[in-house]
Amino acid sequence: MSSIPSNVSRAPTLLVNQIQLANIQRSSLGLFETQSQLATGRAVLRPSDDTVATAAIAQLDDSIQRSGQRLRNIDQADANLALVESSLAEANDLLLSAKQIASTQVNIGTTQIERENQAQVVNSLIDGLLTQMNRKSVDNYLFGGSRTSSPPFEAFGAGFIYRGEFDKLTTDINLGKSVPVTLVGIESISDELSKVQGDVDLSPDLTPDTLLSDLRGPVGLGVTKGSIQMQLDNGPVVEIDLKTADRMEDVVTRIEAAIRDYETTNGVTILDTGGVSLAGEAITIDVVSGAPGTDPQLTFTEVGVGTTARDLGLTTTGGFSFEATQTTGQDLDPKLTMRSSIASLAGLTGALDEIVINNAGRRAQIDLSGAQTIEDLANAIQGADIGARLVINAQGTGIDIVNLVSAAPDQSMTIEEVAGGNRTAELLGIRSLKASTRTDILNDGRGVEVKSGGTDPVTGLADPNLDVDFAIVLGDGSTFTVNLRPQDTVTIGDVIARINDEANTQGIPTTAFQAGLGDADNGIVFTQDAAFAGPISLERRNNSTAMFDLGLGDATFDPTSATLAGTDPAPVVSSTVFTRLIELREALTAGDTSGITFAGTKLEEVVDSVAQTRGLVGSYSKRLEAARVREEDVSVMEQSFRSEIRDLDFAEASTKLTLLQTQLQAGLQSMSIANQLNLLDFLG
């Protein structure tokens, strides 16, 4: 009689079938995944396959994509810089040709007809230069700075105006570095930006909107944002978080809120009616007074090695406390910015009204009375379309006015006052001729030449009469001479003082004659007694050019005001390639050999500046090449890392595929055999 052995487990047929079916499904799924991997070449097909590997792959994908974009940026920048270098090379060749013309046309044997013909050649060089400076790459103008949609140089009167911006377009080359892909055209073709340098420190006060980034701080190192500590006398110490403060309003609000909370928590009174506020260039804290000798002392200290409290003028290295008799912190020395309000300018000592700017034969009377900020001043000047632009100086203390027009020196920019006005140009420090103007910049850098150290040709002894530069004849017939010594010609103010001193020394009373600057139009002005019948006249002495160098050669007399007014000897000449070529062309046309010589000398300077710009472009190209090599190396390394994580090992996958196929076949056969069994197979 047969029986079922006790060591053999019995299971329902359904359960056995389900187990076998699950095994077949797993084998089929594994086979499908392996086939998919072999078809795609990827070991990780979806995030659920390997979450850690997927995160690493995503990060590498992002880095590789950004690296690829940087490589495309580098290629585009390299192409742009190649065009820039090509344009500068063409400009350099044009300048060398002009320089050769200048050197050959001063020869004695050169005729005026030849010079006029060469003037036409120079004119063609100007046209060629304009083409190069307005050169365009595929999608932008190369010399317009950040303004790349329109030509940077345009005809303006008898000259050319720069319409671009002063900041460049740059491209990212990683590691926090960038390389310019466009240049500022007017800087590229000049030895320096020509401008009226403001000589007034406008000294803006703190306002609630003053940015912390615009503060120099008590020691000139700016402001580092962080936390500070506060303590009243020997009471508890509390921390004030200023890490996210951006403006002075944020700082004042958080400090006052912390003090008010301190008062509530500790049952004390710290602030008087003034609270925490801004005054001048410092933070002020109005601390209450106490009994004599017991005034509360509010002290701020640093947290750890921070410097925020010192940077905000709330403490010093030696420490100090705010109290009833000491309510003001250290000066924070805010910079002047385009956002600075006119009302906050402590250095502005009067109300603004109008100024006059002359440039390229045009004249603009600009009303500045409605300006609320420095940016409003800049917009008013730029809106006049006179070829001038207001910029903040490098020190962040005042404003400069840049001349954007390249024209003949006699059509260069001047800034004057309006007759009877508030002398706005002087208030802002931007009048182009003032007492502080240095004489070495007059006449496009020629300066003032004076007679000095003259000696008698017979005796060989010093003869003061030979040092006289000119004589001034007044309307009553009285005359005095002017001997300008080198020490008298450092500034326009020195020259005026010397002329007045010479008059007084030679017996001319101040009621009869006075030298000064014009109230409106620029120029040195001589005023005589209105009772004198005749005009003031000048006489050149010892063949001196000083009178002409000071703008007095073409002076005009106004009998109504009894004044002789000179012309402005200090126009702001834009020292660009265009200016020097125009200057050479005009000198050739006029047959002015000294002008040709001077233009040739100035051409030397701009040739050097163009060469320096080419060298700078070359350095940019070198940086791009180094960045390309670095990016390619990093990209290859990252792609290798990604391949190790993401890509499939084909040998391993092929072996796995074979095993899975065998496993699936075995499972199917086992299930087939199992399904053929019946009760007789067990009963034997």
Confidence at residue 229, expressed as pLDDT on a 0 to 100 scale: 95
Q: What is the pLDDT of residue 670?
A: 72
CA distance readout (Å), 173 to 126, 141, 168, 557, 629: 36, 21, 15, 64, 11
pLDDT at 8 over 50: no
What's the whole-model pTM score? 0.82
Res 413 pLDDT > 80: yes
For range 591-608, the mean pLDDT: 88
Residue 659 has what pLDDT? 80
Q: 273-277 contacts: CB < 8 A, separation 24 or more?
A: 274/327, 276/252, 277/252
| pLDDT(459) > 50 | yes
Q: Which CATH class is domain 82-192+600-634?
A: mainly alpha
Per-position b or e across 304-324, b if 16+ CB within 10 A of its CB: eebbbbbbbbbbeeeeebbbe
CB contact at 8 A, 190 and 575: yes
Q: How sure is the predictor about 11, in pLDDT bands with cuts at 50, 70 and 90?
A: low
Question: Looking at residue 12, what is its pLDDT?
Answer: 65
Given a cut of 90, is residue 208 above it in pLDDT? yes
Q: Please check the confidence at residue 675 and state whether its pLDDT lies above 70.
A: no
CA 165, 169, 174: angle at the middle one, nearest 5?
155
Residues sharing a CB contact under 8 Å with residue 661, sequence separation 6 or more, in sequence order: 31
For the segment 6-20, the average pLDDT, to the nearest whole number, is: 62
Domain boundaries, the chain: 13-60+647-683, 82-192+600-634, 212-322, 342-432, 464-565
- In the 8-state DSSP scheme, what is residue 551? T
Q: Residues 353-371: what's their mean pLDDT?
A: 94
Structure confidence at residue 1 (pLDDT):
42
Mean pLDDT of 610-614: 90
pLDDT surpasses 50 at 129 = yes
Here the tokens at position 455 are 């000696």
Looking at residue 40, its pLDDT comes to 73
Query: Residue 19: what pLDDT?
Result: 73
Q: Residue 19 is encoded by which pair of tokens?
A: 């187990």
CA distances in angstroms from 350 to 141, 198, 199, 281, 507, listed in the order given: 43, 16, 16, 20, 38
Q: Across all residues in the chain, what is the average pLDDT?
A: 88
User: What was the pLDDT predicted at 681?
Assistant: 58
DSSP letter at 569?
A: S
Give pLDDT, residue 463. 86
Which backbone phi and psi does 103 adopt, to 5 degrees? -75, -30
Question: Per-residue confidence at 334, pLDDT binned at 50, 70, 90?
Answer: very high
* pLDDT exceeds cutoff 70 at 16: no
Q: What percent of the chain has pLDDT over 70?
A: 93
* Under 8 Å between Cβ of 442 and 448: yes
Q: 34 or 61, which is more confident? A: 61
Please say if the pLDDT value at position 50 is more than 80.
Answer: no
The answer, yes or no, to whether residue 3 has pLDDT greater than 50, is no
DSSP state at residue 389: E
Handedness of CA 40, 46, 49, 55 (dihedral sign): positive
Architecture per CATH, domain 212-322, reads as Sandwich (2.60)
Distances (CA, A) of 381 to 128, 211, 374, 387: 31, 25, 11, 9
Fold matches, 82-192+600-634 and 212-322: no
Token pair 């008059």 is at which residue? 503
| Average pLDDT estimate for 553-572 | 93
Q: What is the pLDDT of residues 143-182, one digit of tens each?
A: 999 998 899 999 998 899 999 999 998 888 876 788 898 9
Query: Could you tell me the CA-to-CA distances from 153 to 83, 185, 311, 583 in Å, in that order?
Result: 17, 8, 44, 18
